[in-house]
Structure 1
Amino acid sequence: MEQNVTEQNLTESSLLATFTGYPEAQRLVDRMSDDGFPVESVRIVGEGVRTVEQVTGRMTRGRAALAGAVSGAWFGVLIGLLFGLFTAGAAWIWLLLISLFIGAFWGAVFGFVAHWSTRGQRDFSSVMTLQAQRYEVHVDKARAAEAARYVL
């Protein structure tokens, strides 16, 4: 498989189109695919990639504990379901509920302690994404003339 990846990277390509947003590049490749073009020879390349961190709000000890409780509750439910496989009758519901509450409690404790231990160094929550300045659609040179009809 590694040989295939190396051969694919060495294939000469031709720039077919440039877009300012990914959805436009995706639509072009989708249109080519719908028309039966062999899209295995097409690449979407993001140029000028940067990270963007969108701040979503202030992180307090209470919010950290709440986020930890939610994560812990999900983990508790998972553990409860796994142990529930070995439980007969209606006892599995109690096992699930107890696991949920124990997971939520310890998740809240760990969330609170984790935030408290930073001593205010990061008092906000955020979501990080990758963005590119432009997106280029490349196609193998052998198929460039055939692909050109899709951008006219």
Structure 2
Amino acid sequence: MSTQPTRGLGPAAAQQLLSLDYPMSLGVHDTYAGAQKVVDYLSDHEFPVEDLLIVGTDLKQLERVTGRLTRGRILLGGLLSGAWLGLLIGMIFALFDTSGFAWTSVLMTVIFGAVFGAIWAFVGYSFTGGQRDFTSVMQVVATKYEVLTEHKHAARGRDLIAQMDPMAAAQAEAARMREAATRQAPPSEGPAPTS
């Protein structure tokens, strides 16, 4: 599997790359792995996969709390990051020092960086006012993944998917028919007036 980011492209090129002419659904899946399996199956059967698009919908944000944030952890984190930065700067200065490499200057830079990092982290933490006293990791995920193709390939794609999983294809077709029926049904105007 290979994916290429669209960061280097301009907005118009990225929009063109991530769109299809008259897209039609080949199916909706609960996981990205399910959608990827369908695309892989279609690729194995020489379907023009360059005309496919996987769209994640119904986004939700997950945040996993990983621990408590205390003054001690803040100071330790600031001390360590400052020490690493001090080591980097100290090594650069020591390498280009004309009087020779001096470990004492490197050590002094590490100590200065550690103290500066601890103070900087503590001041930053003080400005939060205790509003967020925990650490966490976040991720945005989709709850559904729809495989789309250009209209000219939709029938062939559905036929191949039906060969892959006949039961899922029948359920998807029934859902498509229900959706089409609800779109075509005239809106009810309520009960007819009685005289």
Q: Which runs of 4+ in 1 moved over 6 A?
A: none
My pick for the range that moved more, 70-79 or 25-34, is: 25-34
Q: Could you tell me whether the CA contact under 8 Å between 2:24 and 2:150 is conserved in 1?
A: yes
After the TM superposition, which residues 18-37 of structure 1 pair with which residues of structure 2 at under 5 Å, given as runs? 18-30=28-40, 32=42
1:67-95 CA-to-partner distances (Å, cap 9, x unmatched) read: 22333334334434544552469717655
Q: TM-score, normalised by structure 1?
A: 0.74
1:28-80 CA-to-partner distances (Å, cap 9, x unmatched) read: 44555566655432222111102122111110011112222333334334434
Give the letter for the 1:19 counterpart. H
Give the letter for the 2:31 counterpart. G
1:67 alignment partner, one of 72, 77, 90: 77
Residue 133 of structure 1 deviates from its aligned partner by 1.3
Higher relative contact order (CA 8 A, sep 6+): 1
Give the letter for the 2:55 counterpart. V
Q: TM-score, normalised by structure 2?
A: 0.60
d(CA) in 1 for partners of 2:91 and 2:34? 43
How many residues were matched structurally?
A: 152
> Runs of 5+ in structure 1 lacking a partner?
none
After the TM superposition, which residues 66-85 of structure 1 pair with which residues of structure 2 at under 5 Å, given as runs? 66-83=76-93
Q: 1:126 to 1:2 in 2, by over 3 A?
A: closer
1:71-130 CA-to-partner distances (Å, cap 9, x unmatched) read: 333433443454455246971765555444433322222112211222211111111110
Is it true that 1:44 corresponds to 2:54 in the alignment? yes
Q: 1:109 to 1:11 in 2, by over 3 A?
A: same
Q: How large is the RMSD of aligned CA atoms in angstroms?
A: 3.2
Q: 1:134 to 1:6 in 2, by over 3 A?
A: closer
Partner of 2:176: none
Q: Percent identity?
A: 39
Pair member with larger Rg: 2
